[in-house]
Amino acid sequence: MKNRDNNDTSDIRRNQLREAAYRLISRYGYGGVSIRDIAKEAGMSTGLVHYYFNNKEELLLSILSLMNLKLKERTVKALAKTTGPREKLERFIQLAFGQAYREREYYHVVVDFWSMASRNERMRKANARLLKSYIDVCSGILREGIDSGDFLELDIDYTATVILSLIQGVIIRHIVEKKAFNYEEYSSRVLGQIMAYIVKK
């Protein structure tokens, strides 16, 4: 019983630290946040931060892992309520665009993490896993649609990559130039163009 209580407490504190770091990085960027800042935000000592995470990079990688898990859980749950590959693809695209509304901080953090991928091999691999989660779900839907005859015969990996590139490109511009265009309108237009390109007439 004691071990379970200790494990539960450790999990709670780790999550508190991840959430505190996530909030701060979304506001100030990875380079603008220290272990001391994270400890203060979480209401803990710096010693406790180091007890649960060896350094800031390990904490950051843990955040990426948690983001990846939450992304998978949310997507699987949403897609379970759909019927057929066409509806699944529409819902997947809507979810991806909706992320910028639901969790604006998410993309602030992700863009910051992307910038580190070229300089840090562990960060590159963690970012690759996060991107692969999107690609795998999208590829699975495309394969289902091709097998059922609903979608045109397409290069699945290429098409999934293009879909994700379109979505993320619009989201990044929206974050950088919020008033440059109507985000909802552009999201809807991109969705329509993707479906027109993929679905059999």
Question: What is the value of pTM for the model shown?
Answer: 0.78
Domain spans in the chain, listed from the N-terminal domain onward? 1-53, 55-198
Q: What band does 65 get if pLDDT is binned at 50, 70 and 90?
A: confident
Q: Note the pLDDT of residue 6.
A: 60
SS3 199: strand
User: What proportion of the chain, given as a percentage, has pLDDT over 90?
Assistant: 38
Q: Which CATH number fits domain 1-53: 2.170.130.10, 3.30.70.330, 3.40.50.11540, 1.10.10.60?
A: 1.10.10.60
Paired tokens of 86 = 């066409």
The answer to whether residue 43 scores a pLDDT higher than 70 is yes
At 1 the pLDDT is 44
pLDDT of residue 7: 65
pLDDT at 76: 85
If one looks up domain 55-198 in CATH, what number appears?
Answer: 1.10.357.10
pLDDT at 192: 96
C-alpha 201/C-alpha 196 separation (Å) is 8
Gap between the Cα atoms of 174 and 82, Å rounded: 28
Can you give the chain as a three-state secondary structure string? CHHHHHHHHHHHHHHHHHHHHHHHHHHHCHHHCCHHHHHHHHCCCHHHHHHHCCCHHHHHHHHHHHHHHHHHHHHHHHHCCCCCHHHHHHHHHHHHHHHHHHCHHHHHHHHHHHHHHCCCHHHHHHHHHHHHHHHHHHHHHHHHHHHHCCECCCCHHHHHHHHHHHHHHHHHHHHHCCCCCCHHHHHHHHHHHHHHHHECC
> What pLDDT, on the 0 to 100 scale, is given for residue 103?
66
Query: Over the chain, what is the mean pLDDT?
Result: 85
pLDDT for residue 68 is more than 80: no
In the prediction, which pLDDT does 55 show? 85
What secondary structure letter does DSSP report for 80? T
Q: Is the pLDDT of residue 32 over 80?
A: yes
- The pLDDT tens digits for 165-183 are 999 899 888 888 878 899 8
pLDDT digits (tens, 9 = 90+) for 78-134: 888 898 999 999 999 998 888 776 666 776 777 777 777 778 788 788 778 878 888
Among 38-52, 121-135, 153-167, the least confident range: 121-135
Do residues 113 and 127 touch, judged by C-beta distance below 8 A? yes
